[in-house]
Amino acid sequence: MLGANSRYRLPCCGKCMCIIHECPSSPNMHIFSNLGLLHIMNVHVPPTWPPVSGAGFWHRGAQQTMGTPMAHFGVVVGLMMILVFLVFLSSIHKVEEGHLAVYYRGGALLGGPGDPGYHIMFPFITYFRSVQTTLQTDEVKNVPCGTSGGVMIYFDRIEVVNMLTPSAVYDVVRNYTADYDKTLIFNKIHHELNQFCSSHTLQEVYIELFDQIDENLKLSLQMELNVMAPGLTIQAVRVTKPKIPEAIRRNFELMESEKTKLLIAEQRQKVVEKEAETERKKAVIEAEKVAQVAKIQYRQKVMEKETEKFISEIEDSAYLAREKAKADAEYYTAQKSADANKLKLTPQYLELIKYQAVSANNKIYFGSNIPTMFFDSSSRSRIEGKSA
């Protein structure tokens, strides 16, 4: 079947039943047939080889002219080169940025860690582990915890954000292996959390002190790491709400519901009190406003009256001053007139006045009864009676 599909049929080496056939689809692809076994290999066919027509064979002398030892040597060299390439390829490894490589040989930790980049090591003898030196988050899941009351609760997930400084990588890996987080973080989380739960009640762990668990875990872990693994720092600890038995959870939910109702009632009461306080303050403000207005009006009236009083006093003072000045002037005039009259009351002046008065009369009476002429009839009768 093979000979029918081949253009050339060449003897292999003459020492076996192997025959070379050229594949019609590829001139360089030949099929070795040996006792029913097929072997495929790229073999260069010299162009000087004459083709054999039909199913004939090459002459055995021509068969011996083939360089079989050289062909075997080429195959061996090729296999060795492939093996060397595979060994070289397995010796090259890459360290990512933010990581350091620690090397083991025969289970023993070698010298300093390798920096990020490509490195070469002895294959199959030396192997490496990559250690992260940037922030990483380790998750501890399903942590059991027993409270002081005997209730078993479970923390579904605890996240620990930590970072290992590059200078401490070798010491930490040497003391706690490359999986140091299992010893220093995972196991410590279990220990510290169980210590915390065993000294507190379910009420404290689940509600009252739950907000302090993460900070307490962080502080306790960091205190331990400062002694056991300097250079490994805890940045943060995040703790999820623990899982508690269903019956207890329902009781807590009912209690929280009642607390919520109580808080709502208290808040409503505070709102009512605030509204009443607001109304009272509003009334006080209105009363103070009215009082201040009345006080201002009173002060205004007082000021008006004081102003009127002041004006009246000024007017009275002015009037009194005027009257006093007028009286003083009249008194002064009278006094001066009296003084003048005193000076005038001399016999000569009186005589002059008498003559002036007599000369001013139109009628002049003479006789002995002249003094009675200036009295009325009643006065005259009294005078006449006295005279009789």
Reported as a single tens digit per residue, the pLDDT across 155-188 is 999 999 999 999 999 999 999 999 999 999 999 9
The pLDDT of 354-378, averaged and rounded, is 62
The pLDDT of 15-26, averaged and rounded, is 46
Band (2; pLDDT cuts 50, 70, 90): very low
pLDDT over threshold 50, residue 57: no
CA distance 132 to 330: 126
pLDDT for the residue numbered 332: 85
CA distance 150 to 164: 37
pLDDT for the residue numbered 367: 57
Cα-based distances in Å from 279 to 197, 256, 274, 282, 347: 51, 34, 8, 5, 102
Q: Which of 126, 151, 144 is nearest to 194 (CA)?
A: 144
Number of CB atoms found within 10 A of residue 29's CB = 14
pLDDT for the residue numbered 21: 46
pLDDT over threshold 50, residue 33: no
Which helix H or strand E contains 11, and what residues bound it? strand 9-11
pLDDT for the residue numbered 357: 78
The pLDDT of 305-330, averaged and rounded, is 87
CATH tag, 133-244: 3.30.479.30
pLDDT over threshold 60, residue 371: no
Angle formed by the axes of helices 187-198 and 210-228, nearest 10°? 130
Highest-pLDDT range among 21-25, 26-30, 65-69, 310-314: 310-314
CA distance 184 to 37: 61
The pLDDT of 259-266, averaged and rounded, is 89
pLDDT for the residue numbered 372: 54
pLDDT for the residue numbered 327: 86
- Tell me the per-residue pLDDT of 82-99, one tens digit each, with 9 for 90 and over: 887 777 777 788 888 999
pLDDT over threshold 50, residue 268: yes
Band (387; pLDDT cuts 50, 70, 90): very low
pLDDT for the residue numbered 321: 85
CATH 3.30.479.30 range(s) for the chain read 133-244
pLDDT for the residue numbered 131: 92
CA trace torsion 301, 305, 310, 311 (10° rounding): 100
pLDDT over threshold 70, residue 272: yes
Q: Which of 211, 238, 236 is nearest to 143 (CA)?
A: 238
CA distance 200 to 147: 6
The pLDDT of 325-329, averaged and rounded, is 86
- Kindly report which listed range (29-38, 150-159, 307-316, 376-385) carries the lowest average pLDDT score: 29-38
pLDDT for the residue numbered 73: 80
Structural contact between residues 185 and 136, judged by C-beta atoms closer than 8 angstroms: no
pLDDT for the residue numbered 159: 94
Place of tokens 């056991």: 228
261 is written with which tokens? 């109702």
147 is written with which tokens? 């409270």
Band (232; pLDDT cuts 50, 70, 90): very high
- Tell me the per-residue pLDDT of 236-258, one tens digit each, with 9 for 90 and over: 999 998 888 888 878 878 887 88
386 is written with which tokens? 């006295």
The end-to-end CA distance of the chain, in Å, is 222
Q: Which of 133, 100, 137, 102 is nearest to 232 (CA)?
A: 133
